[in-house]
Structure 1
């Protein structure tokens, strides 16, 4: 922890953490043209300016780009789910291995923490699904237009973290909006050795162009502290045939809907009120639709995608249409050709093993969520989004600690106490620092002094409040530099009711250091919800259960017929 300067508590200095971590996103109309770009915003005029200002993607893009992006999103879902339901017949085709492209898991300079085992010695599984908009092949270029973007940098425009619990009883999926404002860590390409320095504020989808998917993984880890085991990145080649092979996915709208504006924007989706099976071009329209769903934003589109994904899982698991060997073979060819994976998933056999793990989770224990967020007011990024605290941290913590987002029980093992005995409280030196700053609320002043007094009242008379403020920390943590101080650090956490999982080793501190995070902005007692919540997703995450067959999209005013 840097301590090279001494400043007032209202200023900021560096502390170790894994919480911080423009091109714009996809649109849904062939008639939409690109507009002028700024450092993170865009200027608009005309009849759809108000709606566009609420759209997270920013500057309008070609609808054919939108089609391509949603194709690769479908590929990301199907690549996991088809492999998990189609059976083992296609595994005999060894040449499928050569279809799979490989890349490094983590291009960041910080190694990810190891998983904690549950009571049965099992560990959770986290897979990051990445949808790339790269147009680096003839097949990808032919699936859409936008020739001006053929040589442009790839963007990670779809990002979904799939968490499978250690006991394989439940699955949680968290989508991060593509225009989330964060900081991208330093990333180094393995093949070339080229290093991309850590950035200031950027959009999360730009991480892919900084060495590859391993930088997107590193960005997720820096923001959330979630250890990621694998990634699966997909483009859109061959995805249409995969979508058709399912044979139709039921979706529901609460009113007649036609996704078309007066000036020709929209996906073109036209459905009557009620539930309908969709496939092919109509499925693509559903997944692309922004104009016409809810409030016309990307968050509405994400919610529609979650509904489709859950419905697709149910269809795949009950379908008898995927028993045809020829159909399985074509699906396997399409899926493996579309995939780029980390080296831990670089064969069909490994993918099959992964799929077998995914099949263990019943659909009723699948929970789809979106990272809780708020509209940024950061200059240059107005209309983009940032993590909404404390809700976003509640979701991230649940996944880090393998707590189901549906609030139901899961077998998990509490963090083990240190084997190093703690010194008497009066002999433990503790530095307390204020890391409560958030962009939404600023810093809660005086927190280091307040919590130092709390510690002193509990017998930690050597606790001192640092004058300098720490870097923002979303979750309160106790850091220690070496094994002989781990017991002391855990004693501090226990005295304050802080989970032992928040006690961490760091070479950047010289002694036991308590950083009061954004989850403890007020009060003398560590918030009970932060310490003991059951992990159930907050309503701001829009949780959707995999067995919910009643889910139905609200239709935006002005898009009915």
Structure 2
């Protein structure tokens, strides 16, 4: 697809103190109402794309006679179009590797159906934004799964990207994550995620909201629940609204009402709470599909495949019905009580109260669990101490002999101890380089030319294979695990990048391996088998 950069615009005022906004286009609320900013609330619809795109993984491959038809429906794109640095996880002892799939809900307005759903014709042809972004992680043994969303208005570093269609190059920038889609396509969004999380992402899938409508109808109804009567409508304080109106309790929603649920923001009070409602819908949808045996019902698969593949764009390496079907079968094997959905831990952006930033320590703990393939739930039979076991099998790196003696190695130390909420610790590069000198690395020095950086985890980088042993030796001297020694084209020699996990002291702090289910306290995790989840309605939208 051909994308052009989109300049940020003033976000809509928050629904209430602490609620996050972040609209990017002019117009109404986006909820389909006449007042306010139509584009703003409309983006909530892309959260539905996340839930419905999961179905895509179970909709292809209905038989050879249908195969070529489905294959013709699927659009493909380059897997990565950005400057990504994540490395694929090593296989475990059984030769298995995790599978990571990035689902992106595009707000593309480039069709009559998409324009009709949003009601903003002047936006037709403008570059799409990635307002729904969710990572699906299937464990190496395919016994558990995690689904992690990042709110669209989270400020992150977007790397250098190149549009694979137009060839246009975009410089690195720091802005909200939904703009990554307009800076090089889905491959740029994938690169942004990889650099933020350190998790290698195997594939991406995008879906537009015309597909959301057809998929909602094809599913045939999903149970949702509210604790109070809800009516998401315009108020004196806030215009727009999805129109969702229902009484307290559990209801089966489909068609238009399903879309209203998935688009609702005001009635819950904030974008993160809307994400939680989407996770409830997603888990309920998976239970529904499993209960209907849709994965083994050829007729249902064909109906869902037709609806889904017409709206899909996928990374080229999975651009066939068979490959999508194979993904579906892997997802199908995970029991619902081993599926966990949640939103990345976040805090208010100190630069803009209507935006978010990752909650450094807690977010990185969650990303580490994904990198180390540690289950988000505690329901596995063999999950006791699984963190340390999985880490030892997946990340062990053989030690190599240094190419030169310690005293001849010109190791460089950079200070990258800043976080999203805290400045870098002054003098850290000098302090750590002096410790290296004391340990015999007399040529070690602090990098005073580097601009301020922020990385969550300390890493020792080296430019070429002949320096791997030297980098490992530097890491060993300071107690840094060998799996944090990485080859990188960004350095010209062995370089120690001191991260936010090492803000004090001269010996790297020992890191305890995460255990199954040991999620940060501030996550909104929902287990896929939990049928009692119910949304609270924000006061002004009760009736």
Residue 268 of structure 1 is aligned with which of 223, 240, 243?
243
Change (3 A) 1:403 1:456: farther
- CA distance in structure 2 between the partners assigned to 1:217 and 1:300 by the alignment: 24
- Using the TM superposition, name which of 415-424 and 494-503 deviates more: 415-424
Equivalent residue, structure 2, for 1:106: 80
Contact 1:177–1:299, Cα closer than 8 Å, also in 2: yes
How far, CA to CA, are the matches of 1:545 and 1:458 in structure 2? 48
Deviation for aligned residue 1:141 = 2.4
User: Which of 241, 262, 280 in structure 1 is aligned with 2:255?
Assistant: 280
Shift of 1:436: 0.7
Number of the residue aligned with 2:141: 167
- Unpaired runs of 5+ in structure 2? 33-38
Deviates most, 117-126 or 399-408: 399-408
Equivalent residue for 2:35?
A: none
Cα gap change, 1:83 to 1:513, in 2 (>3 Å): closer
Q: Structure 1: where are the runs of 5+ without partners?
A: 1-21, 24-37
For residue 29 of structure 1, what is the aligned residue in structure 2? none
Deviation at 1:376, TM superposition (A): 1.6
Q: Report the alpha carbon displacement of residue 177 of structure 1 after superposing the two structures with TM.
A: 1.1
Distance 1:527 1:546, change over 3 A: farther
**Per the alignment, do residues 154 and 508 of structure 1 end up closer, same or farther by CA in structure 2, a change over 3 Å counting?**
closer
Equivalent in the alignment of 1:492? 474
Query: Within 2, Cα distance between the matches of 1:177 and 1:489?
Result: 37
Pair 1:80 & 2:54 matched: yes
Q: 1:323 to 1:449 in 2, by over 3 A?
A: closer
- Map 1:9-408; keep pairs closer than 5 Å: 39-42=8-11, 51=16, 54-58=19-23, 61-64=29-32, 65=39, 69=43, 72-81=46-55, 83-84=57-58, 89-90=62-63, 92-94=65-67, 95-110=69-84, 113-192=87-166, 194-263=167-236, 265-293=240-268, 296-320=269-293, 326-378=299-351, 381-406=352-377
Match of 1:16 in 2: none
Contact 2:61 / 2:324 at 8 angstroms: preserved in 1?
A: no
SS of 2:259 mapped into structure 1: helix
Distance 2:464 2:190 in 1: 28
Gap change, CA 1:553 and 1:459, over 3 Å in 2: farther
Hey, what's the Cα distance between the residues in 2 that align with 1:486 and 1:325?
A: 52
Q: Which moves more between the two structures, 356-365 or 198-207?
A: 198-207
Deviation string 1:248-273 (CA, Å, 9 cap, x unpaired) is 22222222322234345322222333
Residues 249 and 312 in structure 1, CA contact (< 8 A), matched pair in contact too? yes
TM-score by structure 1 length? 0.83
Q: Does structure 2 conserve the Cα–Cα contact (< 8 Å) formed by 1:90 and 1:328?
A: no
Change (3 A) 1:431 1:326: closer
Change in CA separation of 1:78 and 1:290 when aligned onto 2, cut-off 3 Å: closer
Find the residue that maps to 1:158 and give its secondary structure: strand
The equivalent residue for 1:513 is: 495
Aligned CA distance change for structure 1 residues 558 and 74 (closer, same or farther; 3 Å): closer
What CA deviation, in whole Å up to 9, does each residue of 1:148-191 have, x standing for no partner? Answer: 11122111111111111112121111111111222322222334
Partner SS state of residue 102, structure 1: strand
Partner of 1:13: none
By how many angstroms is 1:218 displaced?
2.0
Query: Do the aligned partners of residues 111 and 181 (structure 1) sit closer, same or farther apart at CA in structure 2, a change above 3 Å counting?
Result: closer
1:415 to 368, 392, 395: 395
Q: What SS does the corresponding residue of 1:402 show, helix, strand or coil?
A: coil
Deviation at 1:459, TM superposition (A): 6.0
Q: Which secondary structure does the structure 1 equivalent of 2:395 belong to? A: coil
The partner residue of 1:437 within 394, 405, 418 is 418
* 8 A Cα contact 1:182 1:201, kept in partner: yes
Q: Given that residues 414 and 447 in structure 2 are in contact (C-alpha distance below 8 angstroms), is that contact kept between their aligned partners in structure 1?
A: yes
Per the TM alignment, residue 473 of structure 1 is displaced from its structure 2 partner at its CA by 1.9
Alpha-carbon RMSD across the aligned residues, in angstroms, is 2.9
